[in-house]
Structure 1
């Protein structure tokens, strides 16, 4: 199964680069635009995904949330304020999203894939946790000894982002920005043969033309292929996997099939 996910949050990356930036005004405009472009791509390709939403995003973009649900995608929790995550967000984000959507929220991803209280997730009835990138990324992650594939812990399914066998090359958003497309596809195929599934994640702001906005101070590796380029690249990967007969599904569907 192919698991596509999107960390649907207020755009706050400029703040990491010293820009005085209003995430709930300017950042939400970027995120609304990008989420709609993602939805356009998924609709064009005829596949479903999982949208990990902060409560900030869900509260400030009800029309986009409606589109996510109307088009058959899963909504999962991604904390409350992406810039300032708190331990209680595991509880509060689930509660708020369920009130806003009228749906049961079954999964959680911590902002920036930081550590999360798994016992609290189990107490709150989460089916799965998707807060792990089992790779080494300087300044962010050092998870080379954690499992590469899904496993159970504290009664909650842990679904790490896919990395290649042996070398643990991360196959997340930054890789699709910067790897040659043939290499990204080749590594996808290898992971599917080895693991039986493929799991990756992106953000709405990647589908916004960041290269046209030098004031945001985005590093080249982030703005490379941003906007239409990422739309075209994601579409190419999806269509390649569909042509190979791969099944696309949501995280809940994957978890319920394997638990």
Structure 2
């Protein structure tokens, strides 16, 4: 697809030739966390904390190199435990010329308390020197979202609106962005992970691993056309070798270099069809659009 670049108020926007409409947005995120996955599947000896951090570090290094090659910006939902262990990597993300976002993934990946909302945000801000406005609960666990605004968050991306057998059934939850609380009040914007209209074909990391790429691209285009944005996520540990860990094939399939190559090809394809944005910037833009729509109706 050929494109036209324009500049409005200092913001670069890509337009389709002959159509005064910006390209849809692609929201790419990574859950940066301790590799405690073997414990989920009953492995007797959970890897040491050092090993959990090392696996995540190797994967995160591969991810950052991939994003540098493709010129794609992303959001990194990071646990405070990982950030404290690798502060230099988190600062590298925050200071990237690609303008990545660092958001909160809680205090640790293996547990959650309501107080983790505030203390993880504060810890990440101290490390990065930048505001942290987004949150994603580990494993999409349930929690009282009324506490988000009080803890200083603007948006949350803890919904995967699909049915995942053995995990959760969110088929009746909203599929696209919505608001908890009125605009301008003590509320938060909710940015669910993308799923297709109608059948809610999933577009998260597991489906990316196993779907035929032609099908995954088709579903991506469907969502971009219908919703105007695509919200997908992965984990850095998917992009490094997982040999030696007792985890199901469905999880470790294509781990490492195969996953790097698969995502790189997909991102280059997606760049021709969407503009990449952070979830924080998208949340602000979505809220402004909602406010403008309400103003026009009044």
Verify the 8 A CA contact 2:91 2:127 in the aligned structure 1.
Answer: no
**Is structure 2 residue 285 aligned with structure 1 residue 248?**
no
Which aligned segments of 4 or more residues in structure 1 are displaced greater than 3 angstroms?
none
The two structures, once aligned, show a CA RMSD in angstroms of: 1.1
Task: State the alpha-carbon separation in 1 of the partners of residues 113 and 238 from structure 2.
Answer: 25
Q: Does 1:102 align with 2:129?
A: yes
3-state SS in 2 of match to 1:31: helix
Tell me, in whole angstroms, the C-alpha distance in 2 between the residues paired with 1:58 and 1:23. 17
Q: 1:41, 1:231 within 8 Å by CA — same for their partners in 2?
A: yes
The SS at the match of 2:49 is coil
In structure 1, distance between residues paired with 2:275 and 2:143: 30
SS of the residue corresponding to residue 25 of structure 1 reads helix
Compared CA separation, residues 258 and 239, structure 1 to 2 (3 A):
same
User: Residues 128 and 156 of structure 1 are in contact (CA less than 8 Å); yes or no, is this contact kept in structure 2?
Assistant: yes
Distance in 2 between the 1:134 and 1:53 partners?
22
1:7 lines up with 2:22 in the alignment = no
* Deviation sequence 1:84-103 (CA, Å, 0-9, x none): 22222112111111122211
1:149–1:238 Cα change, 3 Å = same
**Is 2:257 aligned against 1:228?**
yes
SS at 2:66 equivalent = helix
Larger-Rg structure? 2
Match of 2:87 in 1: 62
Q: CA deviation at 1:18?
A: 2.3
Structure 2: gaps of 5 or more residues: 1-24, 182-186, 288-298
Q: What runs of 5+ residues in structure 1 fail to find an aligned partner?
A: none
Asked if the contact 1:31/1:204 (under 8 Å) is kept, the reply is yes
SS at match of 1:152: strand
TM-score (norm 1): 0.96
Question: Which range is displaced more, 2-11 or 67-76?
Answer: 67-76
Q: What are the residue-to-residue correspondences of 1:137-216 with 2, within 5 Å?
A: 137-154=164-181, 155-210=187-242, 213=243, 215-216=244-245
Could you tell me how far apart the structure 1 residues matched to 2:34 and 2:48 are? 6
1:125 Cα deviation after fit: 2.3
